[in-house]
Copies of this chain bind each other. A is one copy, B any other.
Amino acid sequence: MTAINLARKLAQFDGHWQPRVVSQFNGHDLMVAKLKGEFVWHKHDDTDDFFLVLHGRVTIRMRDGDVTLGPGELYVVPKGVEHCPVADGEAHVLLIERAGTPNTGDPGTAAPRREL
């Protein structure tokens, strides 16, 4: 029964595009991640994809247009919508997806779900 300090969780690892699960919520994973560079185009057929930027800037490219997020800004990519997150510098985010969702949309290439 303790507060989850997101900055402190983020200080515990270095890898990019490797979300760490910090808590659960109604069958979803609450995750922090460090993003840098360009990810892969992908989609999640079974879950919306929640991004809240904590540090830096993230552009979520989509086929119909881009959304750029700074600290304190969020965006929900609807399920089934192709997207490609990009961060020019390092960015830190809070992510929420259904528990077990592969981060690339494909279990074969997804980063393993790791707890913090």
**Is chain A's binding surface mostly helix, strand, loop or mixed?**
strand
A22-68 residues at the B interface, CB under 8 angstroms: 22-26, 28, 30, 47-48, 50, 52, 54, 62, 64-65, 67-68
Copies in the complex: 2
Please state if A6 and B76 are interface contacts (CB–CB under 8 Å): no
Given the complex of chains A and B, what is the CA–CA distance between A65 and B3 in angstroms? 12
Please state if A76 and B23 are interface contacts (CB–CB under 8 Å): yes
Give the contacting residue for A73; candidates B6, B48, B50, B70; CB below 8 A. Answer: B6
Q: Taking CB as reference atom, which chain B residue is nearest A75? A: B3
A113 interfacial by beta-carbon distance below 8 Å: no
Contacts of A93 in B (CB 8 A): none
Given contacts A25-B96, A26-B98, contact A3 B50 (CB under 8 A): no
Please state if A25 and B73 are interface contacts (CB–CB under 8 Å): no
Binding site for B on A (CB under 8 A): 1-7, 22-26, 28, 30, 47-48, 50, 52, 54, 62, 64-65, 67-70, 72-76, 79, 94, 96, 98
Can you list 6 pairs linking A and B with CB atoms under 8 Å apart? Answer: A3-B74, A23-B74, A26-B28, A26-B98, A30-B50, A52-B94
